Amino acid sequence: MTTIGIDKVSRWFGNVVAVNDITMTIGPGVTGLLGPNGAGKSTLINMMAGFLAPSSGAVTLDATPIWRNEQAYRQIGIVPEREAMYDFLTAREFVEANAELHGLPEPGAAAQRALATVEMQYAQDRRIETYSKGMRQRAKMASALVHEPSVLLLDEPFNGMDPRQRLQLMALLRRMGAEGRTVLFSSHILEEVEQLAHHIEVVVAGRHAASGDFRKIRRLMTDRPHRYLVRSSDDRRLASVLIAHASTAGIELDWTEKALRIQAIDFAGFTEFLPRIARDHDIRLYAVSPSDESLESVFSYLVTA
Amino acid sequence: MTTTAAGPRPQAAGPSSGPALFHPTVARLTYRGLLGRRRALLLLALPMLLLIIVVAVRALAGQDDGTTADLLRSFALAAMVPLVGVIAGTGAIGPEIDDGAIVYLLAKPIRRSTIILTKLVVAIAVTAAFCAVPTLIAGLILNGNGQRLAVAFAVAAAVASVAYAAIFLMLGVITRHAVVVGLVYALVWEGVVGNLVPGARTLSVQQWALAVAQKVSENSTVTSDVSLPTSVVLLVVATCAATWFAVRKLSTLKLAGEE
């Protein structure tokens, strides 16, 4: 049972604050670190991996600081986002070298176990430079698992993987979590996190936006006010009908765009109600477009929620 | 992925076991990276050029001690050794830092000083092998080791290899433009300033190595502006200081600056 502690951690690069006063604890099981690109996820993972010193605060592994503590790597396995490995080696040589670097007594056997776990034995004698993206990812996984670490840190592990490889990796991570290992992976894709992690930590613009059970946070995300731009054959009449309905929080008549700007609070209710009411009142809908559906706006909403 | 039951958890050796200053796996990864196809060709180019030139000179001008000393000093020691040193020294660590593969060394229970010292040993061995050996052969071809010129310059090349490997390895850790900085240093400082500006010669690896060559050879034209004791001290100081600084920089190497 190993726990990563992040206590009032900030990290800045020059004048740019990448991580801003974050406190969280990552315990056994699978945790998803969710946030849009550039939110500070990689910076956080790099601090947990001991590759980056926090500008302030402390990052610890079972209460021992990780920065400049190479003994921590006996417990940590890392799958970096960057592609580069020792491409001139075969996967077998690469994973064996990792086992030797960990000082394992039987590096060959340990490498075979790790390669079997990620189903890469069939290609283990091919040079890594000939591998596809998914195969490289699995070779990286094998190198991270070779010393059977109690903590596994993965930075955007599903990037560039095909759906089958994605499912395989998810099954493996789920199993690692069920075994009591502390598994943390970062992602900017909501659905990935939804499928894998019950516990999530959301980071937006360097700040800790939310923490806890995925379903609760997901509800917060879907229940937020949604904005739509609607064009119809009779904007004024449509506005008057919509405002009477409970799912509509506000309507603005945009003269320049010749459209309605609608703020809806009940996502499901509004999307059902709008076409029905248009049909009932013989109003033709020309355009219905969500105006804030980007992931960034979803995350930003969480910060203010 | 399979649900193959994991075997017994491998027991890592304790911190006290294992080599403290040299790690054979780090060495293996370093030399395999260094002697990869393209870089091996680069490393071979200058020694091959030296041998072609000496064969031509020997055939056209015959055996001459003055020519031998001139050629070994101006081409082998002043150009070939620093340039091979740049390729081997920066190449021993720079590409791994650039592409991020160094993560696989750093995320291990190995001291950063062990990583640097191991890479230094490999860089020295490669530089010396690609410089001292061709220099010895060149000297033998030119005048058959007359006045011990071949041995003197081979020893000087080996000595210079140590300092150059350490300096360029350090550059490989501290800058992403290590090859460019190394080339400027090798060509401008060692090649031009070191040859033309009297004061700068005291701080030239080439002059320190020449002092060693002067001691070994029996040829009066092989001279250095720096005395042998000073040279030896400066060689040791430069090598140790560069290595110490490289360890220091690697210990605080920031792999994440992208965000």
Please work out, in degrees rounded to the nearest 5, the angle formed at the alpha carbon of residue B202 by the alpha carbons of B181 and B177.
5
Whether residue B133 contacts residue B49, with contact meaning beta carbons closer than 8 Å, is answered with no
Answer whether residue B186 shows pLDDT above 90: no
What's the order of all strands across the beta sheet hosting A4-13? A16-26, A4-13, A56-61, A64-65
% of chain A at pLDDT higher than 70: 93
Stretch B232-236: mean pLDDT? 97
What pLDDT score does A245 carry?
85
Rounded CA-CA distance A130/A116 in Å is 19
Out of A99, A103, A119, the one facing B2 most closely (by C-beta) is A119
Burial (0-12, 13-18, 19+ Cβ within 10 Å), B215: middle
DSSP lists the bridge partners of residue A285 as: A232
**Chain A residues within 8 A of B256 when measuring between CB atoms:** 42-43, 46, 51-52
Stretch A136-149: mean pLDDT? 95
Q: Which of A47, A48, A70, A140 to mutate to test the interface with B (most CBs of B within 10 A)?
A: A70
What is the domain partition of chain B in residue ranges? Answer: 18-251
Rounded CA-CA distance B195/B79 in Å is 12
CB atoms within 10 A of CB B137: 16
Rounded CA-CA distance A207/A39 in Å is 8
Answer whether residue B12 shows pLDDT above 80: no
Digit-coded pLDDT (tens) for A60-97:
999 999 999 999 999 999 999 998 999 999 999 999 99
Q: In the numeric block, which tokens belong to residue A259?
A: 């459209």
Stretch B30-43: mean pLDDT? 89
What pLDDT score does B198 carry?
76
Digit-coded pLDDT (tens) for B87-132:
999 999 999 999 999 999 999 999 999 999 999 999 999 999 999 9
Rounded CA-CA distance A67/B188 in Å is 39
Confidence of residue A300 (pLDDT cuts 50, 70, 90): low
Q: How far is CA A34 from CA A52, A264, B109, in A?
A: 20, 25, 29
Least confident window among A139-153, B52-66, B196-210: B196-210
Phi-psi region of B2 (alpha: psi -120 to 50; beta: other; left: phi over 0): beta
Rounded CA-CA distance A285/A231 in Å is 6
Task: Write the DSSP assignment of B8-58 as a string of letters.
Answer: SPPPPPPTTSS-SS--HHHHHHHHHHHTSHHHHHHHHHHHHHHHHHHHHHH
Stretch B133-151: mean pLDDT? 95
**Chain B residues within 8 A of A13 when measuring between CB atoms:** 257, 259
Answer whether residue B253 shows pLDDT above 90: no
- Closest CA–CA distance from residue A198 to any residue of chain B (Å): 21
**Chain B residues within 8 A of A51 when measuring between CB atoms:** 103, 106-107, 253-256
Nearest CA in chain A to B3: A117
Stretch B209-213: mean pLDDT? 96
Answer whether residue A193 shows pLDDT above 90: no
CB atoms within 10 A of CB A276: 9
Q: Which span out of B35-44, B165-174, B176-185 was modeled with the highest average pLDDT?
A: B165-174
B10 contact A CB<8A? yes
Stretch A132-151: mean pLDDT? 94
B8 contact A CB<8A? no
Confidence of residue B200 (pLDDT cuts 50, 70, 90): confident
Stretch B46-63: mean pLDDT? 94
Q: In the numeric block, which tokens belong to residue A180?
A: 């009591």
**Chain A residues within 8 A of B103 when measuring between CB atoms:** 51, 78, 80, 82
Confidence of residue B75 (pLDDT cuts 50, 70, 90): very high
Confidence of residue A98 (pLDDT cuts 50, 70, 90): very high
What pLDDT score does A297 carry?
62
Higher pLDDT, B4 or A224: A224
What pLDDT score does B159 carry?
97
Answer whether residue A214 shows pLDDT above 80: no
Q: Which of residues 44-103 of B touch A (CB under 8 A)?
A: 99-101, 103
Answer whether residue B6 shows pLDDT above 70: no
What's the order of all strands across the beta sheet hosting A182-187? A76-79, A151-154, A182-187, A29-34, A199-204, A207-213
Out of B32, B100, B109, the one facing A103 most closely (by C-beta) is B109
Whether residue A188 contacts residue A34, with contact meaning beta carbons closer than 8 Å, is answered with yes
The mean predicted confidence, pLDDT, of chain B is 88
Q: Is the pTM of this model over 0.80?
A: yes
Cβ-Cβ pairs closer than 8 A, A with B, add up to 125
